[in-house]
Amino acid sequence: MTDGPVLAFFTEDSGRFLPLPLARSLWAADSLTGPAVCGIAARAAETVYGETGFRPVRFTVDLFKMARALPTRTIGRVLRDGGRIRVVEVDVVQDKPSGESTEEVVVARSTTVFLRESANPPGERWFNPADDIVAADTPTPQQQEAASNEFNGEGPWDPALAPWFYSGGTWSNDMGTNQTDGQKAVWSRSAQVIEGEPPSPFQRTVMAAEATSLMGNWGTEGIAFINCDLTVALSRLPGDSRIHVRAESHTEHDGISTSSTGLYDADGRFGTGLVTAVNNVAAQIDFAKVDMTGHYAES
């Protein structure tokens, strides 16, 4: 990897997390991208409250206040600690923005459910055979090479992180050419939550699944719906460094939308993403025009 911006969202300093340039969102100049906020909450839930034999199976985060480029910390608590289920809540807290009266501001709150691993019960159950087809739909080696050479998101300094987008045609790295009304998909490889700390499979999944909003709300004019939450439901954790997020459903009425995605790795489907979003057309992002240099592509 050649010299370039640090490919992480935060650096840690005495228990607080300082946002790095990659954490910047395109929605506003001093705001943080969704994967950064979701990733820091998921990391806190897993590293503080995770336990061998208990699998994180549902992560829900409410993004009720725009996170800013300010020192950030997490505060967690256990809501339930049983023999088969553990429920953890994490607040993402930031220093007081200029002009606000409070000392700190809670910008997001997540709930993570851990379930005890065991064996599947006897019997056969239905699954969608289309999931196997989707899991096998990966960019060709030629498309992967083209994406690495053309990437305009995280930057040419690390083509291994280049996401591959799809919108009914062929896999491509160019977000502008994928700005259509077609069904969206992305194969992505997440950046680090904390500089120098490789993200766990759970953290990578949460950050990748935040692209559910992009996959569902990205249309011919760009994206103007901003998600106010994210729910990730998992039956297992991914085995690959790249995660495939593919749009499954989208509804929109009166300035409100819902979107869901399937989550895949090379072995098949392992989960689902869900978001609700609200009209934010005043800050609409047109990927055919915006300069993505230095920005996280799934922001």
> Which pLDDT tens digit goes with each residue over 153-178?
444 345 566 788 999 877 888 888 89
Query: 29 near 38, Cβ under 8 Å?
Result: no
Give the domain CATH number at 28: 2.40.160.210
The stretch 2-28 carries a mean pLDDT of 84
Which pLDDT score is estimated for 149?
A: 58
Within-domain flag for 123: no
Which pLDDT score is estimated for 162?
A: 73
Within-domain flag for 122: no
pTM over 0.75? The answer is yes
- At CA 49, angle to CA 45 and CA 52, rounded to 5? 115
Q: Provide the residue range defining the domain that includes 72.
A: 8-117+128-283
Within-domain flag for 155: yes
Which pLDDT score is estimated for 99?
A: 65
Which pLDDT score is estimated for 91?
A: 99
Within-domain flag for 210: yes
Q: How far apart are CA 24 and CA 172, in angstroms?
A: 24
Which pLDDT score is estimated for 151?
A: 47
Per the structure, how many domains does the chain have?
1
The more confident residue out of 264 and 290 is 264
Query: 111 near 56, Cβ under 8 Å?
Result: no
Within-domain flag for 237: yes
Which pLDDT score is estimated for 150?
A: 54
The stretch 193-201 carries a mean pLDDT of 96
Within-domain flag for 299: no
Within-domain flag for 221: yes
Which pLDDT score is estimated for 170?
A: 78
Residue percentage of the chain with pLDDT more than 90: 70
Query: 297 near 175, Cβ under 8 Å?
Result: yes
SS (H, E, C) the chain: CCCCCCCEEEEEECCEEEECHHHECCCCCCEECHHHHHHHHHHHHHHHHCCCCEEEEEEEEECCCCCECCCEEEEEEEEEECCCEEEEEEEEEEECCCCCCCCEEEEEEEEEEEEECCCCCCCCCCCCCHHHHHHCCCCCHHHHHHHHHHCCCCCCCCHHHCCEEECCCCCECCCHHHCCCCCCEEEEECCEEECCECCCHHHHHHHHHCCHHHHHHEECCEECEEECEEEEEECCCCCCCEEEEEEEEEEEECCEEEEEEEEEECCEEEEEEEEEEEECHHHCECCCCCCCCCCCCCC
Which pLDDT score is estimated for 105?
A: 94
Bridge partners of residue 104, in order along the sequence: 95
Report the largest interatomic distance among the alpha carbons of the chain, rounded to a whole angstrom. Answer: 60
Task: Give 222-237 pLDDT, tens digit per residue.
Answer: 999 999 999 999 999 9
Which pLDDT score is estimated for 254?
A: 99
Task: Give 20-34 pLDDT, tens digit per residue.
Answer: 999 999 998 899 999
Q: What is the mean pLDDT of the chain?
A: 89
Which pLDDT score is estimated for 21?
A: 92
The more confident residue out of 109 and 296 is 109
Q: How far apart are CA 123 and CA 128, in angstroms?
A: 17
The stretch 245-259 carries a mean pLDDT of 98
Task: Give 34-86 pLDDT, tens digit per residue.
Answer: 999 999 999 999 999 999 999 999 999 999 999 999 999 999 999 999 999 99
Within-domain flag for 71: yes
